[in-house]
Amino acid sequence: MTRTATFWVYLVFGFMYLPIAMILLFSVNASDVMAFPIQGVTFAWYGDILSDARLGGGFLTTLFIAFPVALLTTLFGAAAALALAFYPTRWRGLFAAVLLLPFLVPRLILAVAQLILFKEMDIDRSLWTVIAGQSIIILPFSTLIIASVLVRLDRRLIEAAADLGATGWSSFRRVVLPLIGNGLLASWVIAFVLSSSEYVLTAFLSGREQPLSVLVASDFRFNLSPSLNALAVLIVFGNIALVCFAEAIRRRSGSKA
């Protein structure tokens, strides 16, 4: 890599991560004014966040939403990816277009459309409507992740299993499923992170119980406290820990194989 290319790579990474570094810096600033110069170092803002029962409840609500969303989108994404990769039909192009349509439609329009749909069906807004709505918009991500693994799968392994007398379900369970395990894990992690950070659709579909993203957005509008910087840092490091945990599982399963 040339020096010019290296410079541009570092410039792009700096542009991406400099805002996070600034948030980290202000999260330990002793002053309640987020401006330079730094008045000192304190971890009091982290204490305020960890002792805030309202945000703690929002965090638990976020987990209550993100876990089933990640599970549902991974399961349905795997089914859709298998249909696209292993069962080519004349309608496969149309099926793929409908499946990936949430990529092209603005999130606000999808949120309004789902809100109207639930209203017409006489379904009150709740965490279950949030789970249903988020699953629809995150499903394309899971499908693409799992499909990217399936397209690289050696079909001769499945044919060999069939030649040895394995049924369709047996070859899927013993051959296909272990080979796409990393893709399923990656899909679950990405879906979990996307669900926990989703705001637009969640704000439209949530009822009285509001997840962390809605609570934080409300606080940013009316009360710009430095403790929110501490919360942002905790969320970032939580996501990093989740990714590292998933990578450790992937490497452990790879070493056993």
Rg, the chain, Cα only: 22
**Does 132 share its domain with 5?**
no
pTM reported for the whole predicted model? 0.82
Quick check: helix, strand or coil at residue 27? coil
Residues 19-48 as b or e (16 or more Cβ within 10 Å = b): eeeebbebbbbeeeebeeeeeeeeeebbeb
Does 58 score more than 70 pLDDT? yes
> Quick one: pLDDT at residue 1?
62
Confidence band, pLDDT 50/70/90 cuts, at residue 31: confident
The CATH number of the domain where 235 resides is what? Answer: 1.10.3720.10
**Residue among 225, 149, 138 nearest 188 (CA):** 138
Strand partners, 219: none
The rounded distance, in Å, linking the Cα atoms of 113 and 200 is: 12
pLDDT in tens, 118-175: 888 888 888 899 999 999 889 988 988 888 888 887 777 777 777 777 777 777 777 7
- Asked whether residue 51 is domain-assigned, the answer is no
| Cβ partners under 8 Å of residue 14, min gap 6 | none
- The pLDDT mean for the chain works out to 82
- Asked whether residue 54 is domain-assigned, the answer is no
**Does 171 share its domain with 239?**
yes
Residues 229 and 158: beta-carbon distance below 8 Å:
no
Q: Is the omega angle on the peptide bond into residue 88 within 30 degrees of 0, that is, cis?
A: no
Q: Name which residue leads in pLDDT, 128 or 103.
A: 128
**Does 189 share its domain with 94?**
yes
- 3-state secondary structure labels for all residues of 32-74: CCCCCCCCCECCHHHHHHHCCHHHHHHHHHHHHHHHHHHHHHH
**Does 101 share its domain with 4?**
no
Residues 211 and 202: beta-carbon distance below 8 Å:
yes
- Asked whether residue 179 is domain-assigned, the answer is yes
Q: Name which residue leads in pLDDT, 159 or 62.
A: 62
Q: Name which residue leads in pLDDT, 194 or 35.
A: 194
Among left, alpha and beta (phi > 0; psi -120 to 50; other), residue 45 is alpha
Give the residue-averaged pLDDT of 108-127. 88
Confidence band, pLDDT 50/70/90 cuts, at residue 254: low
- Locate tokens 């990405």: which residue? 190
The rounded distance, in Å, linking the Cα atoms of 226 and 32 is: 6
The parent domain of residue 12 ranges over 1-42
Nearest-10 Cα torsion for 173, 249, 243, 190: 0
**Does 92 share its domain with 10?**
no
The rounded distance, in Å, linking the Cα atoms of 63 and 85 is: 32
- Asked whether residue 53 is domain-assigned, the answer is no
Number of folded domains that form the chain: 2
